């Protein structure tokens, strides 16, 4: 199964989380995500990525 087939078989939150995990793996570089995203989805995905990234970096800076 190709990447585009995997993407097209996913929907809703699963699709969002799959693309978010792709972003984590590619350090947020959209040109490496193998799908054309509409602007609103891309914007919400970026916001999600930055929010998660910010939370993760805070945890790393302030270990329990």
Instruction: List phi, psi (to 5°) of 37.
Output: -100, 140
**From CA 18, how far away is CA 35, in angstroms rounded?**
12
The ranges assigned to domains in the chain are: 3-61
Q: pLDDT (tens digit, 9 = 90+) per residue, 1-50?
A: 555 555 555 445 667 777 777 766 655 555 555 555 667 777 787 788 77
Q: Which helix (H) or strand (E) holds 58?
A: helix 39-61
Check: CB of residue 31 under 8 Å from CB of residue 25. Answer: no
| Assessment of whether the complete model's pTM goes beyond 0.95 | no
Q: Is 15 exposed, middle or buried (0-12, 13-18, 19+ CB in 10 A)?
A: middle
What letter would DSSP give residue 36? P
């Amino acid at each position: 199964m190709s990447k585009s087939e995997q993407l097209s078989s996913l929907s809703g939150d699963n699709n969002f989380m799959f693309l978010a995990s792709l972003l984590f793996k590619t350090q947020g570089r959209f040109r490496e995500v193998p799908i054309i995203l509409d602007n609103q989805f891309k914007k919400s995905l970026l916001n999600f990525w930055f929010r998660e990234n910010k939370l993760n970096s805070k945890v790393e800076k302030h270990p329990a």
